[in-house]
Amino acid sequence: MACHATIATPRTSNPQEHPNMLSLVIFSLFFVLALAGIPLMYALLATTLGVIATYGMSHPLETIFLSFIGGVEPFILIAVPLFVFTGELLAQGGVGARIVDFAKVLFGWLPGGLGVVTVVSCLLFGGVSGSAIADTAAIGSLVIPSMVARGYSRGFAAALLSVAGTLALLMPLSIPFLVYAFVSGVSMRTLSMAGLLPALVSAAALIAVCMWYGKKTGCDNGDRRASFKEIWAATLSAGPALIMPVFIVGGIWSGYFTPTESAAVAVVYGLVVSMFFYKDLKWEQIPKLLLKAFMTSATVMLVIGATGALAWLITVEQVAQQLADWVGSVAHQKWVFLIMLNVALVLLGIFIEPLPALLMAAPLFLPLAMAFKIDLVHMGVIMTANLAIALYTPPVGGTLFVAAKLAKAGIGEITKHLWPLMAATFMVVLLITYVPWLTSWLPRLIASLG
C-alpha cells in the first residue's frame, strides 16, 4: 500500500483569526519602537508597515501614502500652526509679565502667595496661548527667581510650574482640544467651554497645595493686601491680554468666525497687542518666532500624518471593534470602562506627548465611549486631562524639563515635590471623569443664554 504524504500548503496569516493578537501586536510593536527612542513619526509608520508585513496583508503601499497625506489635509488643521505662532508671540512679548503682576495684586497676600500667583498666572496665560510649553516657559522665567528668593526650594518651584503649565490644555484656546475636535467631529465651540470649569477646579486644587506648602515650610506667609489703586492699575495693564480669550471664544461661539479663522484672528490680535500696545516685540524678532513656530508645527503635522496611516490600518482591520468586544467582556459597566480608560491614557501619556497620544488614542477609544453612551465632548476633556499628566512625568515630560532648566533643579529633586501636586491633579481627573456636570454645565448655560 502506497503511503501518500500530505504536504501543508503555506497560507497567509489571517488577522481576523486572532483578533486580540492583532491589537496586541500593534500596541507592543509601537511601544517597543517608541521606547527605543525612534522618533514618533517613524515609529508609527514602522508599526503600520511592520503589521502589514507580519500578517501578509495585501494593502498596497500607495494606500499608506494616501492615508498619510489625507491625515494632514483637513482645513481645520491650519489652525494648529497659527495658534502655535500666537503662543510664541505672547510668550516673547510682555503679556506674561503683566499677567503675573495682575495675579500678584489679587492673590499675593495669601499664604504660599507666590505659589498661588504662579498657578493663577499659568491659568490666565494658558487662556491666551493654548500651549503648555509656552505657558511654562513664559511664566516660569518671571516667577521662579522670586520664588527662590522668597525661600521656596528650587525643586518645589519647578514641580509647581511644570504641573500648573498644563492648565493651558484645558483652557478655551487649547491646541489639543482643536485636534480632538477634528478627530471626533464634535463642536470646537462647545469643547472650548467644556474645559473651562475643570481648569478652574484644577487650579483651585493646586492653590490649596501651595497654601499648605507655604504654611508648612513658613517660607511664604503672604504679602500685604494690594490697594484698590494697585489692583485697578494692574487690571488696566493686563486688560488687553485678558480680553483676548473672551474675544476669540466669543467669536467662535457666536458664529462670527470658525475655529480655523479664530486662529488667524488670534495671530493678528497677538501682533497688535505685543507690538503696538505693549511695544515689547520688534519686527526683527518676527522671523525667528515664525521659524520656531514652523518647526513645532511641522513636527506635529508629520506625526498627524503618520497617525492617520496607522488609524486607517486600525479601522480597516477592525481593531477598534476587537477592543470594544474585549472591553465589553471585561468592563460590563460604564464606571469600570472609565477606570480602564484613565489607566490606559496615563500609561500611554508617560511615553508619548499629549498631541501624538491623543491622535493615536482617540480613534481607538471613541467607538468604545459611544458604546457606553458617553458624551464625546466629556470624553475629550477626560482624555486631555489625563494626557496632560504626561507633560510633567518622565521620560517625555515637556513642561517638567522646561521647568527644571528654568529652576536649575535636578529631576530627582523635583520628583520629591511632585507627589502632592500629582495627587491633587489625579483627584481632579477623577472628578472630571465621574462628574459629567463639570464639563456640560457651562456650555449648556451659554447655549441657553444665546
pLDDT tier at 163 (50, 70, 90 boundaries)?
A: very high
| Predicted local distance difference test score (pLDDT) of residue 198 | 94
**Residue 345 near residue 383 (C-beta atoms within 8 A):** yes
| Predicted local distance difference test score (pLDDT) of residue 20 | 55
Q: How far apart are CA 402 and CA 411, in angstroms?
A: 11
C-alpha separations of 375 from 86, 354, 369, 372, 439 in Å: 31, 21, 8, 9, 10
Q: How many CB atoms lie within 10 A of CB 97?
A: 18
- Contacts of 425-429 spanning 24+ positions with Cβ under 8 A: 425/163, 425/202, 425/205, 425/206, 425/389, 426/389, 427/205, 428/198, 428/201, 428/202, 428/205, 428/385, 429/342, 429/382, 429/385, 429/386, 429/389
Q: How far apart are CA 426 and CA 339, in angstroms?
A: 12
Residue 2: is its pLDDT beyond 50?
no
Q: How many CB atoms lie within 10 A of CB 129?
A: 35
Please report where in the chains the cell 494632514 appears, as a residue: 72
| Predicted local distance difference test score (pLDDT) of residue 397 | 67
Q: How far apart are CA 439 and CA 193, in angstroms?
A: 8
Residue 6: is its pLDDT beyond 50?
no
SS3 content of the chain, % helix, strand, coil (to 5): 80, 0, 20
69 vs 190 pLDDT, higher one: 190
Exposed/middle/buried for residue 216 (C-beta within 10 Å: 0-12, 13-18, 19+) = exposed
Q: How many CA atoms lie within 13 A of 346 on its CB side?
A: 13
Residue 402: is its pLDDT beyond 90?
no
278 vs 236 pLDDT, higher one: 236
pLDDT tens digits for 282-301? Answer: 888 888 888 877 877 777 67
Pick from 242, 130, 221, 108: which is nearest to 175 by CA? Answer: 130
pLDDT tens digits for 357-396? Answer: 787 778 778 888 888 888 999 999 999 998 888 788 765 5
Pick from 374, 388, 384, 376: which is nearest to 338 by CA? Answer: 374
Q: How many CA atoms lie within 13 A of 358 on its CB side?
A: 29
pLDDT tier at 11 (50, 70, 90 boundaries)?
A: very low
| Predicted local distance difference test score (pLDDT) of residue 376 | 92
pLDDT tens digits for 109-143? Answer: 888 888 888 898 888 877 776 777 777 877 777 78
**Residue 112 near residue 211 (C-beta atoms within 8 A):** yes
Residue 204: is its pLDDT beyond 90?
yes
H runs (alpha helix) in 255-353: 259-271, 286-316, 319-330, 334-351
H runs (alpha helix) in 218-254: 228-254
Q: How far apart are CA 378 and CA 388, in angstroms?
A: 16
The H-or-E segment that residue 175 falls in is helix 175-184
Q: How far apart are CA 369 and CA 371, in angstroms?
A: 5
Pick from 330, 447, 352: which is nearest to 43 by CA? Answer: 352
pLDDT tier at 19 (50, 70, 90 boundaries)?
A: very low
Chain mean pLDDT for the chain = 78
Do you know the residue count of the chain?
450
Residues 6+ away with beta carbon under 8 Å from 21: 15
Q: How far apart are CA 211 and CA 205, in angstroms?
A: 10
| Predicted local distance difference test score (pLDDT) of residue 12 | 44
Following DSSP, what letter does each residue of 104-153 receive, concatenated?
A: HHHHTTSTTHHHHHHHHHHHHHHHHH--HHHHHHHHHHHHHHHHHHHT--
pLDDT tens digits for 299-331? Answer: 767 776 777 777 777 767 766 566 656 666 776
